[in-house]
Amino acid sequence: MDDDFVPQDYRLQYRKSTANHFEDVYVGSETEFMVLHIDPNVDYQFRVCARGDGRQEWSPWSVPQIGRTTLVPHGIDSLLFILCPCQWCCTPGGL
């Protein structure tokens, strides 16, 4: 891990726990993102990586985390996902 690494962009992917492939749900500089249109009572796996200023390559992926909502759909079927670089990108095994 680079001691001087400062994340500038994040890439968040998710998948249903039963799916084989992750898909991009967010790429950008915000550290929070609300994932919309998810099914209630279904486990989703989320992973994130980061890219520093002036760098082309992304960091290794975080360890996938599981999220789920129990809210029934009535306009809001979402999860707020915090893209915390200290929790995911800067931990041992991260960057």
Closest to 79 measured CA to CA, from 34, 30, 42: 34
pLDDT at 80: 56
**CA-based R_g, the chain, Å:** 14
Q: Give the chain's mean pLDDT.
A: 79
CA dihedral 27, 64, 82, 25 (to 10 degrees): 30
Q: What is the value of pTM for the model shown?
A: 0.73
Low-confidence ranges of the chain (pLDDT < 50): 77, 86-95
Nearest alpha carbon to residue 83 among 46, 44, 45 = 46
Q: How high is the pLDDT of residue 26?
A: 95
Give the pLDDT score at 16.
94
What was the pLDDT predicted at 20?
Answer: 95
- Ramachandran category for residue 76: left, alpha or beta (phi over 0 → left; psi -120 to 50 → alpha): beta
Centroid of chain to Cα 29: 12
Strand partners, 78: 36
pLDDT value for 54 = 80
